[in-house]
Chain A
């Protein structure tokens, strides 16, 4: 059985053919783009809102609380109510702020995270663009967000915001290295930058298991660096509530603040997706080589659920980090990167190259 029952490729390609037959190629592509754009937009909003809800519930349970439980059953519509509130709030104009940059910053942040979603394979065939340099594209695009943060901090005419933005700049520039290098480790193992090929390559075992020790190290490094890159958890220096009130988004209100907030959660979703795609087999079910019966049972669970479940787990782990650890100081943050993660990563790449060369992986 080769995932036939859940393969969406035939559905999308037949839809494509249908459009191509009836319309000129330009219009066919245009309609497809609009449809995909709307679908991703809706997906983005829903996932963003429910990640906020999930975070509030997770942290509540970790803190012996109940969490939101007033709006709807179990507070399920709490974040929607919050969104409505944020939409109706006044956008406070800041005196002496750089108007253009101040207004453009939240859009840059949100567009950066929005663009990255396009290249993530959610299931077989459920994949907006399958670049041959997919992972490279995601890395490039998702790191654009820091420009928005820097602009926001600079243009706000607020000293706390400026400190927050500068911290964020230093942090992301350094952690980008670790994220990239840990992914390169897997690229060496898979031999491809294309996300669909990478996922396909994990048919008989996720890279986390087939690449054993170096992949495991790369996974842990990626987890730490990705948490840092999303400005979350113990690495939320750019916000640093207790030090800088709210850091780079101190002066933002209403929906502009909501954009930053939503982008933070979507970035978390994106890095979790990358982790899942690169290390945990993406939408691939859990397969053990040689166990045919077991593999067949696993195949009955649709790939999207595999993908969603694994992503949810990674997100949960990142939330677990955030709600357990105290925040690092800026110099310690950079020490962690340059003295620990980077050397480990470089050594790890060599080990991985060696392992692949000798064929010691599974």
Chain B
């Protein structure tokens, strides 16, 4: 053995290792087959299929109202936005005009959902980097949003609040007051996030210049959402194709051009500020009216194909429905942002260290059930 090494006969081997499906920082049951050379990652092969539930196939047997509760279970962190996507598709197909009140409430709920999701992302990102305290600060603040959801909707995570044509029920009388309280609270707490993690030199060393993704690569791989915007890819559906009440609010798209992990981090932090701006503009102007449009109890979409896209928390979420005129869809396909985002992981993580792979994964904010429907 010693002779082999000294004479250089012993070949250097790549070290293959399975990260996941049970691993603390794959955020679910993602399995990554790594090829390592020492600490350096040579190849990442993500493997899916550990949480495949066949949601798209199940949708073919369910009515349009029933599909809503399955979309909760894709990207559970942006349940409300995904509900909205299906509702918008159905309303679009039926040419139903939903009341303005509904649009406002949907937008506010969606933005609250976005903040809640980004808070949890911040928790998990800190955990991935090894700063365990972030987890509790993020969850503490997220709790306030979940309470708002619970009061109006009755659920905290899997909301099922939007139904085709409107909302499940009207907002709670306390809703506006609570949301305003939350915004004043969170505006004070968000700088704490910066003090704890953003400004930390260790964190900056761990993230700056790590996991580079250029704009061209982001477009080529279909990386959307905050991850794409960190690379300078202007892909915010809320700006480019406003739906619901986004056209009524004045906000800007957060864009960073560095394309590294830190840029993606900053995009999300800034998006929390921007989401609070949107909510503040809308919360006092919710018009009076019905909380649902008049809908038939049995919804039958006209024969045809329908596609709607919305800006979910992790990127562009699309719903594609083929209808054959029955009360259940003929075929449903969800364009989930995480699946495309994951495809760029190998590109970003090559020639980086294992610790960087974790940081990159954290900055992409994967939700595995969304990739693996």
Contacts and interface: CB of A to CB of B under 8 A. Distances in A.
Q: Indicate whether A and B are direct neighbours in the complex (CB within 8 Å).
A: yes
Contacts of A331: 39, 353
Interface string A140-168: 00000000000000000001100100010
Given A241-B130, A243-B358, A332 B206 contact: yes
A77 interface: no
A26 interface: no
A330 B23 contact: no
Given A236-B130, A326-B200, A332-B206, A242 B25 contact: yes
B249 to A, nearest CB: 32
A317 to B, nearest CB: 15
A59 interface: yes
A328 B201 CA distance: 10
B197 interface: yes
A330 B354 CA distance: 10
Interface in A278-324: 323-324
B127 interface: yes
A330 B355 contact: yes
Q: Which size class do B's interface residues fall under?
A: 20 to 34
Given A160-B17, A325-B200, A328-B206, A242 B130 contact: yes
Nearest to B201: A325
A62 interface: yes
B72 interface: no
Interface in B128-143: 128-133, 135-137, 140
A240 interface: yes
B202 A62 contact: no
Contacts of B130: 234, 236, 240-242, 325-327
Interface residues of A, number: 27
Nearest to B135: A63
Given A160-B17, A242-B25, A243-B25, A329 B133 contact: no
Contacts of A65: 136
A240 B355 contact: yes
B358 A326 contact: no
Contacts of A324: 131, 133, 196
A242 to B, nearest CB: 4
A13 interface: no
A328 B358 contact: no
B354 A243 contact: yes
Given A163-B354, A243-B354, A59 B132 contact: yes
Given A241-B24, A242-B358, A330 B39 contact: yes
Interface string B253-267: 000000000000000
B133 A323 contact: yes
A59 to B, nearest CB: 7
Nearest to A162: B15
Interface in A239-269: 240-245
Contacts of B131: 324-327
B133 A63 contact: yes
B123 to A, nearest CB: 11
A100 interface: no
Interface in B190-219: 196-197, 200, 202-203, 205-206
Contacts of A330: 39, 353, 355
A64 interface: yes
B126 interface: yes
Interface string B1-37: 0000000000000010100000111000000000000
7 contacts: A63-B132, A159-B15, A241-B130, A242-B358, A324-B131, A331-B39, A332-B205
Interface of A: 59, 62-65, 159-160, 163, 167, 234, 236, 240-245, 323-332
Q: What are the 7 closest A-B residue pairs judged by CB atoms, nearest first?
A: A327-B130, A326-B129, A63-B136, A326-B131, A242-B25, A329-B355, A326-B130
Given A242-B25, A326-B200, A326-B206, 17 more contacts: A59-B133, A63-B135, A63-B136, A63-B137, A64-B140, A159-B15, A236-B130, A241-B130, A244-B354, A323-B132, A324-B196, A325-B130, A326-B131, A327-B206, A328-B206, A329-B355, A332-B206
